Structure 1
Amino acid sequence: MYAIIETGGKQFRVEEGLELNVQKLDAEAGAKIDLDKILLVGQGEDVKIGAPYVEGAKVSCEILEHGRDKKVIVFKKRRRQDSSVKNGHRQDFTRIKVEAIQA
């Protein structure tokens, strides 16, 4: 069984046992959370599509850790102006493990 979830403004295709990084969530490491913004739930030919979310569906996850991604360089240059700006950015993330999908 798989599901498409929405969290942090992004969509992810998840299955049971999958570990993935999502935008930072406000919960401690080791906590269990339920994600309820489920856009689609499917198993083989049986697919439920939400409008916009599937009623009564949820994905149970465990928070493994919090961290920061690799640095992304943001460079802006204005030509012929002798002007440039160089910044770095590291995005916070939460690593979660999908434990169960209920439809």
Structure 2
Amino acid sequence: MYAIIATGGKQYKVAEGDIINVEKLGVEAGETVTFDNVLAVNNERLKVGSEVADANVTASVVKNGKAKKVVVYKYKRKTGYHKKNGHRQQYTQVKIDKINA
């Protein structure tokens, strides 16, 4: 059994027991979070649309963290212009506990 959920502008295919990194949710480690935006559920047959209107996915927060640094370097030739910048995206790591379909 798996479900497709949407959170943080992205879609994730999850099954019970999976550990995924999603955009930061603002929830502390050890708490539970419910994803209500379920796009599809497959339980021996695929259900989409109005069939999954009342479905949700329950997960527990494992930790909050930052991803590896991404270096952004802007450069224009012949003008002496260059700019270096870095970014570390924050994420929340969650463990999928139950798919309620």
Residue matched to 2:96: 98
Q: Distance in 1 between matches of 2:77 and 2:52?
A: 50
Q: 1:75 aligns with which of 62, 73, 76?
A: 73
Q: CA RMSD in A?
A: 1.3
Residue matched to 2:14: 14
Aligned 8 A contact 1:36 1:58 in 2 = yes
Deviation of 1:50 (Å): 2.1
Deviation of 1:26 (Å): 1.5
Residue matched to 2:47: 48
Q: Distance in 1 between matches of 2:25 and 2:46?
A: 28
Q: Please show how residues 49-68 of structure 1 align to structure 2 within 5 Å.
A: 49-50=48-49, 54-68=52-66
Deviation of 1:49 (Å): 1.1
Q: Distance in 2 between matches of 1:4 and 1:94?
A: 18
Q: Runs of 4+ in structure 1 displaced over 6 angstroms? A: none
- Paired residue type of 1:40: A
Gaps of 5+ in 1: none
1:86 is the counterpart of 2:81: no
Residue matched to 1:23: 23
Aligned length: 101
Gaps of 5+ in 2: none
